[in-house]
Structure 1
Amino acid sequence: MTSVHSSAPNSSHPRHNASSSSAPTRHPVTIISTTYASTNTTLNPVAATIVDFINHLLDQIPLPRWAVYTIFAAGALLILLCCLCICIKCCCRGKKKKRQQKKDEKINLKGVNGKTTAALVQPDVGDVDYGTTKKPRGKLLYSLEYNATASELMVGIKQANSLKAMDLGGSSDPYVKVYIIPDKNKTCETKVFRNTLSPAFNEQFSFQISKASLLKSTAVMQVFDFNRFSKHNIIGELRVQLGNVDWNHVIEEWQDLAEPAKFEEENLGEICFSLRYVPTAGKLTVVILEAKNLKSMDVGGASDPYVKVQLTLDKRKWKKRKTSIKKKTLNPYYNESFTFDVSFEQIQRVNLVISVWDYDTMTRNDAMGKIFLGCDAAGNQLRHWADMLSNPRRPVAQWHSLLSAQQVNSTLVLKKKLPLPTKLPF
């Protein structure tokens, strides 16, 4: 038994030696693992921290990792497309501007022969109307006679000649409308003549007007083309300043018809107000003092006027106030003050709009007259505004003649909507 036990280990010894000799072949694996670990320890700790933080954030999103990557890729693509669209738009705008400049250069240089520049400075008399859009509108024969004893003005419409054709057939259906401004209390019309450019009216109209008013009035004769089912088109008009007429004899003469005025010179009354601006405090004070000779809007021959005071900034409605209502008067007295906060930087971009309205209880309020002041104004309105700016902290009062709302609105074109903030494309 003992010999068998001792021989067993002897018989197995070669195997043990073989296994012992194969053991060193495992050491390279152990060495590689150790080298890998030591390599990880050499990474930048900041970068490793960022990577771990990003992985942690991605793990918090309740979506598969591929879905998260897809969303990020789509967002990056959308941003890239938006940038590309902006670049294309800027390039197109630049090209369009260059084309417009070239077009303007062609227009400005048209007709210049390159030999002399005298025509650009002082054209010949025969070339003054070259290229203008003025077209002959015809002639009108009229007469004027004034009877001082009866305070009566007689306006005769005799005939017209070579009128402008307004119909498709090359003819017109003319008639004449006659009135006196600024009062315009009465409007007269002649008969309508069919299909003719040289009608013979031979009609006379009378107007009751004093000698004092006559010298400040204007006779208006407007020739219209009659249309049964649409608006009558004006062919042309004559305006005769009655203060320049010699009334010692009857006036009868031909005159060329002129282009009609855009707005009627109607007497809408006057308004007086004062302006005061304090640059250091940024305060604009408007004092509505009084108005006179306002237009009658009610059946009883009076009105219920009140005044709106409005500020516009960069051609947009900004701030507004209004006075009290004065009942049944055409000469209201207010003496009401309004103060607005307007910085020195804004005062150059502000316009002041003063409008007079007739208050109605049951119906819509009616505009009686309007006026605006500011750097965009002209005439007495601009002068009043300039006087205010040149005399800071000092009230400057002045009377102004009211204009029609249509005329003021067409001059001071306001923008209706405020600009929306720019939205991001993503």
Structure 2
Amino acid sequence: MFTHTDPTLLSEASMLFAYPSCRGMPRWAIYTIFAAGALLILICCLCICVKCCCKGNKKKKKKKKDEKINLNGMNGKTTAALVQPDVTDVDYGTAKKERGKLLYSLDYSAAQSELTVGIKQANNLMAMDLGGTSDPYVKVYIIPDKIKTCETKVFRHTLNPVFNEQFNFPISKSTLLKSTVVMQVFDFNRFSKHNIIGELRVELSNVDWNHVIEEWKPLAEPAKFEEENLGEICFSLRYVPTAGKLTVVILEAKNLKSMDISGNSDPYVKVQLALDKRKWKKRKTSIKKNSLNPYYNESFTFDVSFDQIQRVNLVISVWDHDAMTRNDAMGKIFLGCDASGNQLRHWADMLSNPRRPIAQWHNLLSAEQVNSTLTLKKKIPLVSKMPF
């Protein structure tokens, strides 16, 4: 005789027989274990799906990118088209660069036989530094004689400097009509060669001297027949006002002019002080045989009071030593309150940073240019003895 049994009891009994280890466990614990296991399996499946999808998308993007590059290359819209432009965009094999504009003025005084060149300002100069700016200054000289070279002050981190400087050049009317004014804009670098941004060359025979000329002109690419390069020299300056000590360290020179038949030179450096435009003190380095890039690292210290430092000019000259004949001047510059351009800036940096050595590279000029600008007098006369 069969009796009626509750289905719920049968299901629970079957579970107990199927999972003996679950005997005696509460129902909620069993449900929790099953739920946790199912959630873990779901998470694993989801991660696998996401990974597969991302991998597929990357392949599709890479494929599309390759297709885009290939298509753009065929259409001439990539940077490859800029590297190799169409014939219509080429100007004698080189693309024109916008170097900026320069505002200058010219005025000639026939009574004084003097030409005044004004460097007013520049606009939209080419950026030469990584930060998208430049440190511009302007160099002015007259060719073919080139007896004098002038430089403006350096303006930091700008493409639109306002100079407002004037330079006077003694020149006769007949020489004026055969000369050309050269205005070169450079980017200043303390520890390397200064990069030229652009230049203007104005033939003075084409100028109407009945009135003052003032005009904007775009800067052009530097001429291939640039002036003779005499080399560069690097030295440091240090002044201690309390002790009255001026220290000049001649560090090195490079790209000096060859003076010997062998193609080399035997250079040494002469360091000279002039007080009130009169020769005062001098020292010189050792001689470096057969070198156009000599390294010296030689230091010279002079006693110069704070009152004298305002009236002193420092003359640095490079000479080629000859055992049998007279030594030849290879290049020269001078610094001091009477200097201009980079030389004046180096001197001012030394004075504004007492006790700290300030090093800088300088382009050498011809001895004739420096001598005509500095116009040194004879050596300081000795104090005469008191009469008895």
| TM-score (structure 2 length as normaliser) | 0.44
Structure index of larger Rg = 1
* RCO comparison, higher one (Cα < 8 Å, 6+): 2
Which has the larger helix fraction? 1
